[in-house]
A and B are shown apart, each in its own frame.
Chain A
Amino acid sequence: MEIHIENLSKNYGSQKAVDGITFDVRPGEVLGFLGPNGAGKSTTMKMITGYLSIGEGDVSVGGKSVREYGDELKRHIGYLPENNPLYLDMPVIDYLEFCGALQGMSPGSVQQRLKEMIRVCGLNAEKHKKIGELSKGFRQRVGLAQAMIHDPEILVLDEPTTGLDPNQIVEIRNLIRELGKEKTVVLSTHILPEVEATCDRILIINKGKIVANGTADTLRKQATGQEVIRLKIEDARVEEVIEALRKMPTVDTIEVIDKERNRLEVQSRTGLSSTREIFHLCVQKGWILSELTPLETRLEDIFRNLTTN
């Protein structure tokens, strides 16, 4: 089932939380939802899952509008809300059974899925404990298990890896990737490397509007017109090197990182590359070029550029 969002808006009083956003998510795709706090990520997710009513525009899931078929569509959506609210006084098993039953599963299929979820989410040792006794990481797994218990075609996960340790994060990411092969997954996060690791496509939203939409690579290409390389040149004085580099037509700016070791960062002019010229320069002058690393623009920088102004 695909999600189609068209011109979606939502106001809280006079404040526009979501402002006319349009996008699609297809099955077999993991969409990463990025944005600073208060950008409208959670509000959008709440509207997809039917917790909040739609302000303006429309959300359709599998071709059916959430406005009309909201209650019917909930059965096909698994949702992990922000902060992962759980009934702390319920044992894990009872809680998952309750969630499965509410999604209209028969007792037999609940038991079967329950076993699978406990295995997949690594909850076997904790299954009889009350949720309140679990650590944050295990609670997060319970949250994921309840979202997936009814095997939904669509998964909406609001910050799924908060509170997990690095090993668990890797496990959960792999799990999400695995699920993303057949299901439609929308996840929001603050952790930028996570988006690169798990998502097929990235959507950056700021002040309720979409400011970027594409794969990590396309976003990088859009953001970087300029090539940046890191250099280390031995057997030369820094001043000499800088002077020589300045004379090159392709070089835009030069930044000294480590004066002692002659390390520099060189930014080329838009659309041009200086790597070959630098190599020839070193050969000509008899300098030793011991490092030449092209630097990719980090996602953090793209994010910061798009969301601060």
Chain B
Amino acid sequence: MHATWIIAKKELQSYFDSLIAYILLVLFLGFSGFFTWLFGSDIFMVGQASLQSFFGIAYWTLFFFTPALTMRLLAEEKKSGTIEMLLTKAVTDRQVVVGKFLAALLLVMVALVFTFPYVITLSVIGDIDAGEILCGYAGLTLMSAAYISIGLYASSLTNNQIVAFLLALSIGLFFHIIFEVLASNFTGITAQVLSTLSLSNHFESISRGVVDTRDVIYFGSIIFVGLFLSEMSLTKRNLN
């Protein structure tokens, strides 16, 4: 656990050193702020003391930002060879994978924390449903965690960051929208399976304030499978 945390801290530090963190924060807050408060179906248009419009925007912005965060995590280490230096320290493959996962997740959580003023502003304007907002944030965190673990796996497969980014985005796209679109074109068991796989269904139910164990299990299993496959893919260096 100790080594995991050291790796997470170092990765988080390098996000801030390399400006990625600042660019992400500015873009994320800019986009979500603009669409939540100023443009389109913003809060004033909806006329309710609800952050649903923010959660809707963040659902998309985080989808695009997470692959940008994860693409370098393992691909860069593999390209520069530092992975060899790292894995011959007293750490296991798993600690490396989990540490890097935590770093990206923490950065997303920092971005989300910066949107807490929205909640404060809203609570001044009207009565807010604290449970719903808490669930919305939990949903965004779980969704990001799922995409980070997918992105980490994509990053473990290649040593080219662009490939890792595109791969993560295309895998993510299936969960984000394609499964749902497909589900509406099928009937019976196929539709049910596809609809269960669709991340948007699970996200919507959580962000509406309904915490269902099925949703938590869904996100948990994506995270687990992504991390597990990343670890396998690191260990695979032994097989070729």
Stretch at the interface among A73-81, A181-189, A224-232, A253-261: A73-81
Cβ contact within 8 Å between B91 and A102: yes
Q: Which B1-37 residues have C-beta < 8 A from chain A?
A: 2-3, 6-7, 10, 13-14, 17-18
Which segment of B44-52, B79-87, B115-123, B195-203 sits at the interface? B79-87
Chain B residues near A94 (CB, 8 Å)? 13
Q: Flag if A51 contacts B89 (CB, 8 Å).
A: no
Q: Which of A71, A77, A81, A85 is in CB contact (< 8 Å) with B92?
A: A71
Hey, which chain B residues are within 8 Å of A26, CB to CB? none
- Report the bound CA distance from A83 to B84 in whole Å: 11
**Known A-B contacts A98-B6, A101-B6, A104-B2; A51 and B82 likewise in contact (beta carbons under 8 Å):** no
CB contacts between A and B, total, < 8 Å = 65
Contact B90 A74 (CB under 8 A): yes
Given the contacts A89-B17, A89-B18, A98-B10, A74 and B81 also touching, CB distance less than 8 Å:
no
Tell me the smallest distance from the CB of A169 to a CB of chain B, in Å: 22
Residue contact B238 to A79, C-beta cutoff 8 Å? no
Other-chain contact of A79, B13, B18, B88 (Cβ < 8 Å): B88
Known: A53-B238, A101-B6, A102-B7. A85 touches B91 (CB 8 A): no
A103 at the interface (CB under 8 A from B): yes
* CA distance in complex: A102, B87 (Å): 10
Give chain A nearest CB distance to B156 CB in angstroms.
16
In the bound assembly, the distance between CA atoms of A72 and B89 in angstroms comes to: 10
Q: For chain A, residues 79 to 132, give those with C-beta under 8 angstroms from any C-beta of chain B.
A: 79, 81-83, 85-90, 94, 98-99, 101-104
What residue in chain A is nearest B80 (Cβ atoms)?
A85
B81 in complex: contacting residue of A52, A81, A101, CB < 8 Å = A81
Q: Judge whether A85 and B82 touch: CB under 8 Å.
A: yes
**Do B18 and A50 touch (CB < 8 A)?**
no
* B214, CB-defined interface residue at 8 Å: no
Residues from chain A with a CB closer than 8 A to the CB of B86 are 102
Known: A53-B238, A89-B17, A90-B14. A74 touches B89 (CB 8 A): yes
Contact B7 A52 (CB under 8 A): no
Interface string of B69-104 (1 = CB under 8 A from A): 000000000001111111111111000000000000
- Expressed in whole angstroms, the Cα–Cα distance for A82 and B84 within the complex equals 9
Chain A residues with Cβ below 8 Å from B82 are 85-87
Contact, CB under 8 Å: B81 / A83: yes
B88 in contact with A50 (CB, 8 Å):
yes
Interface: B240 (CB within 8 A): yes
Known: A13-B240, A89-B17, A98-B10. Contact between A71 and B81, CB under 8 A?
A: no
- Report the nearest A residue to B238, measured CB to CB: A53
Closest chain-A Cβ to B8's Cβ sits at a distance in Å of: 12
Residues on the B chain within 8 Å of A74, using CB? 88-91
Q: Check A49–B3 contact: CB distance below 8 A.
A: no
- Contact residues in B for A79 (Cβ distance below 8 Å): 85, 88
CB-defined contacts of A90 to chain B, threshold 8 Å: 14, 17
| Contact in complex: B14, A49 (CB < 8 Å) | no
Contact partner of A104 (CB less than 8 A), chosen from B7, B90, B92, B237, is B90
Q: A146 interface residue, CB < 8 Å from B?
A: yes
Chain B residue at minimal CB-CB distance from A73: B90
**A residues 39-73 in Cβ contact with B at 8 Å:** 46, 49-53, 71-72
B238 proximity list for chain A (CB < 8 A): 52-53
What residues of chain A lie closer than 8 Å to B85, measured between beta carbons?
79, 81, 85-86, 146
A46 and B86 CA atoms in complex are apart in Å by 13
One digit per residue, 1 when the CB lies within 8 angstroms of any chain A CB and 0 when it does not, for chain B 123-163 equals 00000000000000000000000000000000000000000
Contact status B90-A71, CB under 8 Å: yes
Residues in A neighbouring B91, C-beta threshold 8 A:
71, 74, 102
Of A12, A46, A85, A88, which contacts B240 at CB under 8 A?
Answer: A12
A75 CA / B237 CA spacing, docked (Å)? 21
Residue in B80, B84, B88 whose Cβ sees the most chain A Cβ within 10 Å: B88
16 interchain pairs, CB-CB under 8 A: A49-B88, A50-B87, A50-B88, A53-B238, A81-B84, A81-B88, A85-B83, A85-B85, A87-B14, A87-B82, A88-B80, A89-B17, A98-B6, A102-B91, A104-B3, A104-B90
- Listed in ascending order, the chain B residues whose CB lies under 8 Å from chain A are 2-3, 6-7, 10, 13-14, 17-18, 80-92, 237-238, 240
Measured CB to CB, the residues of A under 8 A from B are 12-13, 46, 49-53, 71-72, 74-75, 77, 79, 81-83, 85-90, 94, 98-99, 101-104, 146
- The 9 lowest CB-CB distance pairs between A and B, nearest first, are A85-B81, A53-B238, A102-B89, A85-B82, A75-B90, A49-B88, A74-B90, A79-B88, A81-B84
